[in-house]
């Protein structure tokens, strides 16, 4: 197994550690684990492309690992009243729509690549989580976290619409 794939697996392994730390109200430690996991997202793709180590495993697991990490945090935030559930419903609806579209496209021999707006969405979500984890330490961090959360929601909608519009031919039979 190559290094980028090991980093992806490490990100998935970080999720239960992050969850336990959050439940123990160790937000700073949970944040550190989340940041480390988020950094592996940046590193695995960069290493895979620069060293020509792109694999089918990485193509599938890398975005899945990102979603498991971020959406685990969102579920915890909903449980503690930090984030409203309807936001996650919109986010998940976009993910299912894009994933479904990618599956249909793949069955037709077409690859739907990640767009820049989708990458911006993911980065905004990750930063929102970081700031919301640190919110108990300063009101300003809570405000920044919520602004980033709203910005990520807007980018979720924009990137979802972009995927559908750019790839509408996938839906015609």
pLDDT in tens, 93-110: 999 988 888 888 777 777
pLDDT at res. 98: 87
pLDDT of residue 73: 98
Closest by CA to 41, choosing from 74, 63, 73, 15, is: 63
> In the structure, what pLDDT confidence band is assigned to residue 57 with cuts at 50, 70 and 90?
confident
pTM: 0.91
CATH of the domain at 97: 1.20.120.1760
pLDDT in tens, 139-172: 999 999 999 999 999 999 999 999 888 887 777 7
Give the domain range for residue 92. Answer: 3-171
How many domains does the chain divide into?
Answer: 1
Any idea how long the chain is? 173
Angle, vertex CA 74, rays to CA 72 and CA 76, nearest 5 = 70
What span, in angstroms and rounded, lies between the C-alpha atoms of 74 and 128?
A: 10
Residue 11 CA to residue 66 CA, distance in Å, equals: 8
Output the pLDDT for position 82: 96
């Amino acid at each position: 197994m190559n290094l980028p794939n090991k980093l992806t697996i490490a990100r998935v392994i970080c999720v239960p550690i992050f969850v336990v730390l959050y439940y123990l109200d160790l937000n700073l430690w949970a944040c550190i684990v989340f940041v480390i996991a988020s950094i592996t997202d940046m590193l695995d793709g960069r290493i895979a492309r620069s060293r020509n180590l792109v694999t089918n495993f990485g193509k599938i697991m890398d975005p899945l690992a990102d979603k498991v990490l971020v959406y685990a945090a969102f579920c915890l935030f909903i449980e503690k009243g930090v984030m409203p559930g309807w936001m996650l419903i919109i986010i998940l609806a976009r993910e299912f729509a894009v994933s479904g579209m990618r599956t249909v496209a793949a069955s037709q021999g077409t690859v739907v690549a990640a767009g820049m707006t989708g990458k911006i969405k993911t980065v905004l979500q990750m930063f929102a989580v970081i700031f919301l984890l640190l919110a108990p330490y300063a009101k300003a961090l809570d405000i920044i976290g919520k602004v980033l959360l709203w910005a990520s929601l807007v980018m979720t909608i924009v990137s979802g619409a972009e995927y559908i519009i750019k790839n509408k031919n996938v839906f015609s039979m």
